[in-house]
Structure 1
């Protein structure tokens, strides 16, 4: 039986609060690498964030089929934001 899993924006690194250099600007989706219906492997990159100073890959914690994508390129992201749902087998 397949299970539907949510992939949410992970917690930002603690160093971003103390230093602030990496995330001094708005954090946006630079590249979206998945679409509904596509298969994805565990740890494959879902999207790439642009923090103003660095690009950061966000991996998928599950293997399965992408059911729905809740974000688009250039969207701002925040901790806990729903990114995609994945149907795991």
Structure 2
């Protein structure tokens, strides 16, 4: 398995389903996460459920290019790079 610890991962659609499961798994593996979706309350609940994880949240609609770019910009601002966009 690839070592994901300290990699900067951006996850779009992270508020439920596969996005949420991926967030939880990568948080366990020590990734630095920037998670985004339209439902801010769900993102906050996920981040709060993983208090030891390095998680930033952003409200964004994946169908809107400028909102996706803002999520990438947040990751770069906070961590200096994006290693894995999901």
Establish whether TM, by shorter chain, passes 0.5.
no
TM-score normalized with structure 2 length: 0.25
Q: Which entry has the higher C-alpha Rg, 1 or 2? A: 1
TM-score normalized with structure 1 length: 0.25
Going by fraction, where is helix more abundant, 1 or 2? 2
Tell me which of the two structures has the higher relative contact order, counting C-alpha pairs closer than 8 angstroms and 6 or more residues apart.
Answer: 1
Going by fraction, where is strand more abundant, 1 or 2? 1
